Amino acid sequence: MSHFEYDSLGSTTALPVDLDEAAHRCLVAGFDGAASVPDTLKELIDRGLGGVILFTRNVRDAGQVRRLTDELRAIRPDLLVAIDNEGGGIGHLVAAGAPEVPGSYALGVVDDPNLTARCADALAGHLATLGISASYAPVADLQHRPDNPIVRTRSFGADPELAARHLLAWITATEARGIASCAKHFPGHGGTVTDSHHGMAVDPRPYDQLLADLEPFRAAVAAGVPMLMSAHVIFPALDPNRPATLSRRVLGDLLRHDLGFDGVLVSDALEMRAIADQYGEAAGARIALAAGADQVIVAVADLDVTLACRDAVLDALRTGVLAQERIEEAAGRVRRLAERYAAPPADVADWDAEAGLTAARRAVRSRGVPPAVRGAHVVDLFPSPYPALNWGGEDLLTEVRAVDPTATGTAVTGECTDPDALVEGIVGRCGSAPLVVATCDAGLHPWQARLRDTLSARRPDAVLVDTGLPEGGALCSYGRGRVNLRAVAEVLAGT
């Protein structure tokens, strides 16, 4: 039996069932809805779809997620169900009761691999209870540049040795739970000044300066990480013509040959503009698989985009543009991954629910703290969350009021049309109470820096707080996860 595909002229060309199934193995699809599996997705799974990726749009509560993952596996038991689950402010399972952990940068500040393992164990244990079998984490990128817009507190830091030991702890703990981890974004996104969600990112450094960025990935491979994710970044020193996701030199020569990785290499999402604007998702899927990727993620909820990517791969197989052997190799790796991880553990042991708050507190207090300011007016300046990454909704005032009900405050999530009036309103509402001004990556968002500086000029006694990377404030949370902000709130309230 064969599946028959129709080209634009109406003719048919048969692909053997096993090759059609292999091509579908190389796709990971996002979809809309939380109540049930769309019919189009069911058809893709029937034909061998390798995986699905869940987002906040698919999550209402823990019971609903488990019913959804059970329904998915009832269609095909060897389907991989994945999610981005880095911790901190990066995740999609807050409505499902996700364990609160502070994110990688705070863990790097604490530099206690055992505590990192406890946080990773909590995240992985929770995934196991939901029937989610793969976590696209941890981040192996090094945070080099203060103007990098995308890695930042998702990274363990700038030191490759520090990153390596925490990657080992994270991967080992996740593996012990029977969940597949994924180190990302190979060969590193930390040397760019562009977010590949929004455009093509380029890392212009010479080859010798890229070597440090490879070390965390080398450590992840040595730790037995089953998956790596590629970066939509051009490295002229490695391949001047194509981003890593589409480069044989990067995926083949560097990753497979030099680093010796034989697990599943998955692309970052193809609808990100670095790929979609330059190549289109469908061509991106074909080129990435030809270059050495084993799976490509089409995370957008519109399944027509996934179908277009699938059809481009099948067309390339029929015409010989894409080698059958390459797809069979990729599908074989995905099958081996599914054999190890597709079925969620039957029994899930408890995890340390306090590990995340413990880590966040240690990070915040790692460099000394200012005196308490109870009854303060808290001004929280932060950018709107990016929907592909953040669950959003966390704010510092809420956490401060949880430990100091006398506090008041103002949250500002974007540049306002009348900043002078905003400042006057804040100063008026604050009165003689202590003033706290919190910013999140003000160096990337000048409107925050302007408001902070104006408020500081009016109130030189204001306590400045950084909720992203440290930028000179009296306190730093090293991330905007709820426990990061709670740890800052406790210091401010003196609890």
Hey, which residues are catalytic here?
A: 197, 268
Distance CA 279, CA 246 (A): 10
DSSP 8-state secondary structure symbol assigned to residue 22: H
CB half-sphere exposure, 232, CA atoms < 13 A: 28
Q: What φ, ψ does residue 67 adopt, rounded to 5°?
A: -65, -40
- Residue whose pair of structure tokens reads 């592909």 in the numeric block: 388
Of 191, 264, 266, 283, nearest to 233 by C-alpha is 191
How many beta carbons lie within 10 A of that of residue 470, not counting itself? 14
Return d(Cα 202, Cα 214) in angstroms, integer.
Answer: 16
Largest CA distance in the chain: 80
Give the type of residue at 225.
V
Strands in 188-318 per DSSP E: 201-202, 227-230, 233-234, 264-266, 296-298
What secondary structure letter does DSSP report for 240?
S
CA distances from residue 352 to 98, 280, 362 in whole angstroms, order as listed: 12, 44, 16
| Helix or strand (DSSP H, E) at 44 | helix 39-46
Could you give the CA distance from residue 244 to residue 397 in angstroms, rounded to a whole number? 41
Q: Check if the beta carbon of residue 325 is closer than 8 Å to that of residue 351.
A: no
